[in-house]
Structure 1
Amino acid sequence: MWRKLALFGGCFFLAVAVFGSIRAYSAKVKDVDLSKTTPILLVHGTHGTANSFNGMIARIMSTYGKSTDRVIVLVQKDGTLEYQGTLSSKPQNPFIQVVFENNDAPIDQEAEWIDTVMKDLQKRYNVTQYNAIGHSNGGLALTTYAEKLVDDAAPRMEKMVVIGTPFNDLDTDYNAATTDFMDVKKRTTELQTYIEENGNLDANLKVLSIAGDLDGDSVSDGVVPVQSALASRLIFDDAVADYSEQVVTGGGAQHSDLHENTTVDAIVAEFVY
């Protein structure tokens, strides 16, 4: 069964300097072999940009010291890839940001682009395993990819973190204000599909779902209902090797602030490392 929720109150928001646009990473990516390390793939949500995960990456790199490099893979509207950034000769758990030029594309399209990225990373850098982090709809894109597109030849997703991901949409007609549930108030078609296809997930996968609870009342992070985010338990709990949940509360739990929250940083770092 799903683990007891760990509630985090009074989260502190850390103001961070924005690291600039995607052009800041224009240096050539070096040819390296990533087969001996575990890259961390990050997928932003709808309307996200290269800046979406900049703060989290910088804080985790400086605080925990277990990742040494980061690059951006820009997926252009036609599906072609542009690599921006540098990798050292022996990178340790490098961060790889997937950035969609069309950042309002359908989830299925984003999942196909992730598939393109993973195949290219495998060919280019011999990636054999990786961890993944998705914020909001980025978590849906990763889940769709994991259920529909991964095959035995693909690099293995070992761990996945979904942050404020609306597995059961945004409507209160579908989501009750509670974290103690065996099923949601009403399942959307999309949630039902995820549940029906969870047998395609890698049974060795480990999943962490993080929800934001802005007012501590189990309603929402201001955008995504808590129950919708935690509907992840209906998809993953009985289908993967390990499934856990965390609920973050307070002002820093607002939807777009979740990846700018040092409490979330700590939860993510503990899980992926």
Structure 2
Amino acid sequence: MKKKNWFWLGISVIILLSIGIICWHAVNNRNSYSANTNQVGQVVDRSHSAPTIYLHGWGASGKSTDSMIAYAEKHNNAHKVLTAKVKRDGTIVLRGTWLKGTPHPIIQLVFADNKNGNYYLTREWFYHLIVLLQKKYQIKHYNTVAHSMGNLTTMFYQVKYGSNPKLPKLKKQVNLGGHFDGIVGMDDKINRNYLLSSNRPKYLNSSYRYLLKYRQNYPSGVQVLNIFGNKGDGTNSDGDVSVVSARSLRYLLRGKVSNYREIEIKGAGGQHSQLHENSQIDQAIGRFLW
């Protein structure tokens, strides 16, 4: 064979190998999406169902919501369809497959920067997730289940974006150990605060003042389940969040929600980190959502 023919044969082999490598990467990354790009990828219509987004607390990871999701999958015919990871630079990566007709879809949200208490920032991360889900899956409604810091992320989001008619609307909101008016040992003290006859807390921290100022932007008609713990050790708290701080949510949402319920978990099961490992709570969430 002439040298010229060998040359073109080599070029052909290189081109075919390159195409093969590109196709391999495409197949292996078909379920991932980076929010830093302008391409949503294949758009699929999942507007018929409202996904439930699970958010973890400060310093936690997906492990803190794993058991709740597992319970929902076993007992409530729910299915985790996506994991949404927010990287430290705000990039969102979706992994998973959301099949058409999936009953009670669940999306597990995980922050790589899981100790970032700047709720003005974390709510923007949540906003980008909602926009991404709207573009990629055409969602119109969603629910949230949040523990600890996740509650403040969602509340800060709702009082800025919740009433925007161009965005998907919140249907049901579940709160676990929400420190809406302070954390014991930081900006709250044991048995210092109390609720007035109006359910307004006597002392207000900076986050609560902000939420109170912009509460009119919270969407109307949402159903809310507020779950909090009381260890029963005299502190009237779950060890990190006082009962008053958790219950202060009622005053924030007065006149805005269609239904508001509270559940107090007493004893060891009411400890702050045990709230997401409690089958009694799992049952209550399942009944409330589905």
What is the CA distance between 1:27 and its match in structure 2? Answer: 8.2
- Between structures 1 and 2, the one with greater helix share: 2
What is the CA distance between 1:220 and its match in structure 2? Answer: 0.5
Query: Once superposed, which parts of structure 1, at least 4 consecutive aligned residues long, lie more than 3 Å away?
Result: 29-32, 173-181
Larger radius of gyration: 2
Measured on the aligned residues, the alpha-carbon RMSD in Å equals: 2.2
> For the Cα contact (< 8 Å) 1:175–1:228, is it kept in 2?
no
Partner of 1:240: 257
Partner of 1:91: 102
Partner of 1:162: 175
> For the Cα contact (< 8 Å) 2:176–2:275, is it kept in 1?
yes
Structure 1 gap ranges (5+): 1-25
Task: Write the deviation string for residues 128-169 of structure 1: whole angstroms up to 9, x where unpaired.
Answer: 111111110100110110001231111111111111010111
Bigger mean CA offset, 80-89 vs 176-185: 176-185
What is the CA distance between 1:108 and its match in structure 2? Answer: 1.3
- The one-letter amino acid paired with 2:64 is S
Structure 2 gap ranges (5+): 1-28, 33-41
1:201-220 to structure 2, matched below 5 A, reads 201-215=218-232, 217=234, 219-220=236-237
Which whole-Å CA distance do the structure 2 matches of 1:58 and 1:31 have between them? 28
What is the CA distance between 1:84 and its match in structure 2? Answer: 1.8
Does 2:236 align with 1:223? no
> For the Cα contact (< 8 Å) 2:81–2:98, is it kept in 1?
yes
Bigger mean CA offset, 247-256 vs 138-147: 247-256
Which whole-Å CA distance do the structure 1 matches of 2:134 and 2:43 have between them? 12
Does 2:89 align with 1:72? no
> For the Cα contact (< 8 Å) 1:175–1:225, is it kept in 2?
no
Which whole-Å CA distance do the structure 2 matches of 1:109 and 1:212 have between them? 27
Alpha-carbon spacing, 1:178–1:254, altered in 2? closer, same or farther (3 Å): farther
Alpha-carbon spacing, 1:263–1:27, altered in 2? closer, same or farther (3 Å): farther
1:107 to 94, 107, 119: 119
Higher relative contact order (Cα pairs below 8 Å, separated by 6+ residues): 1
Does 2:76 align with 1:53? no
Which whole-Å CA distance do the structure 2 matches of 1:142 and 1:257 have between them? 21
Alpha-carbon spacing, 1:92–1:175, altered in 2? closer, same or farther (3 Å): farther
What TM-score does the superposition give when structure 1 sets the normalisation length? 0.84
Partner of 1:13: none
> For the Cα contact (< 8 Å) 1:224–1:255, is it kept in 2?
yes
What is the CA distance between 1:173 and its match in structure 2? Answer: 6.5
Alpha-carbon spacing, 1:247–1:165, altered in 2? closer, same or farther (3 Å): same
